[in-house]
Amino acid sequence: MGKRALILFAHGARAASWAAPFERLRDLVRAQQPDVDVSLAFLELMSPRLPERVAELVAGGVSDVTVVPVFLGQGGHVLRDLPVLLDGLRAAHPGLTVRAVDAVGEDPDVLRAMTEYCVKALGAA
Amino acid sequence: MGKRALILFAHGARAASWAAPFERLRDLVRAQQPDVDVSLAFLELMSPRLPERVAELVAGGVSDVTVVPVFLGQGGHVLRDLPVLLDGLRAAHPGLTVRAVDAVGEDPDVLRAMTEYCVKALGAA
């Protein structure tokens, strides 16, 4: 069985500072999953893009990739762009298993943590 | 003392489905803060925009608005566009107190919940 990888797939932005929370997320997941290759990949504006990152992983012996869309809303990027990218990855790497889960914004625990943050924002008034 | 409002400020998107998690977040916060006017406002592509929403709130007697940027990354939208919008709101409504907190992606508990979601995504493999 080949190595496994987890890709945190984010939008990307012009400002380098934008990526900071995604890098923290990557580091937190890495610390909990030392046997999995955990990395970021972007839709646009930042590197590496998803196809580039997956090609590197496959070259390094990874045979199983899980993609987590680190998006709050499931709009065109998650519902339309990502499936097209995944189809392209499967065509380019026939031996690779690629799976994507729902966007992080769909997770009830993430929503709950955001709710508490909003309520705290009021309390700080 | 006038009424208080909390605005969940999000990017906006073309697909209506995109707003679903933000609407759930609004409903969850509302349920916990029945005395506060909790609503969504958008930077672009969706209505209401932030200035429009604040004008409605002020017309309805709100004197204190807290803005939570429901963004994961703090890029140009949060660091550049939002401060400009806030300055405009303060100029347009001199009697209004407007305050913004950090983006939700900066909150350690939100990050922790996202970490757990990513780890679960691997476990489901």
> What is chain A's length?
125
- pTM to 2 decimals? 0.94
Average pLDDT of chain A, as a whole number: 95
Residue pair B72/A26 in contact (Cβ under 8 Å)? The answer is: no
Span A39-55, average pLDDT: 97
pLDDT: is A103 or A124 the higher one? Answer: A103
Closest CA to B87 of B56, B63, B54: B54
* Helical segments of A1-125, H only: 20-32, 50-59, 76, 82-92, 108-123
Closest CA to B8 of B30, B29, B39, B45: B39
Structure tokens at B20: 């679903």
**Percent above pLDDT 70 for chain A:** 97
pLDDT digits (tens, 9 = 90+) for A89-102: 999 999 999 999 99
Residue pair A3/A62 in contact (Cβ under 8 Å)? The answer is: yes
CA-derived radius of gyration, chain A: 16
Query: A3, A4, A18, A97: best mutation site toward chain B, by most B Cβ within 10 Å?
Result: A18
**What is residue A105's predicted lDDT score, i.e. its pLDDT?**
94
Between CA B41 and CA B33 the distance in angstroms is 18
pLDDT of residue A1 exceeding 70, the answer is no
pLDDT: is B125 or A85 the higher one? Answer: A85
Q: Determine, for residues A125 and B99 on separate chains, whether the beta-carbon distance falls below 8 Å.
A: yes
**What is residue B124's predicted lDDT score, i.e. its pLDDT?**
61
Residue pair A61/A100 in contact (Cβ under 8 Å)? The answer is: no
Span B42-68, average pLDDT: 97
Task: Provide the pLDDT confidence category of residue A33 given band limits of 50, 70 and 90.
Answer: very high
Task: Provide the pLDDT confidence category of residue A41 given band limits of 50, 70 and 90.
Answer: very high
Task: Provide the pLDDT confidence category of residue B58 given band limits of 50, 70 and 90.
Answer: very high
**What is residue B95's predicted lDDT score, i.e. its pLDDT?**
93
Task: Provide the pLDDT confidence category of residue A57 given band limits of 50, 70 and 90.
Answer: very high
Structure tokens at B117: 């979601």
Q: Determine, for residues A8 and B118 on separate chains, whether the beta-carbon distance falls below 8 Å.
A: yes
Between CA A90 and CA A1 the distance in angstroms is 18
**What is residue A58's predicted lDDT score, i.e. its pLDDT?**
97
Span A2-10, average pLDDT: 94
Verify cis geometry, omega within 30 degrees of 0, for the bond prior to B69.
no
Q: Determine, for residues B118 and A21 on separate chains, whether the beta-carbon distance falls below 8 Å.
A: no
Half-sphere exposure of A97 (CA within 13 A, CB side): 11
Q: What is the dihedral of CA A46, A52, A58, A60, to 10 degrees?
A: -60
pLDDT digits (tens, 9 = 90+) for B97-113: 999 999 999 999 999 99
B121 to chain A: which residues are within 8 Å by CB? 6, 66, 68, 101
**What is residue B31's predicted lDDT score, i.e. its pLDDT?**
97
Task: Provide the pLDDT confidence category of residue B63 given band limits of 50, 70 and 90.
Answer: very high
* Contacts for B70 with CB less than 8 Å, ≥ 6 apart: A72, A114, B8, B9, B10, B22, B25, B103, B104
pLDDT of residue B125 exceeding 80, the answer is no
How distant, in Å, are the alpha carbons of A107, B7, B103, B112 from that of B33? Answer: 22, 13, 20, 24
Looking at the partner chain, which of B25, B72, B124 has a beta carbon nearest the beta carbon of A21?
B72
Average pLDDT of chain B, as a whole number: 95
pLDDT: is A1 or A66 the higher one? Answer: A66
Domains by residue range for chain A, with CATH: 3-123 (3.40.50.1400)
Between CA A80 and CA B2 the distance in angstroms is 45
Q: Determine, for residues A10 and B72 on separate chains, whether the beta-carbon distance falls below 8 Å.
A: yes
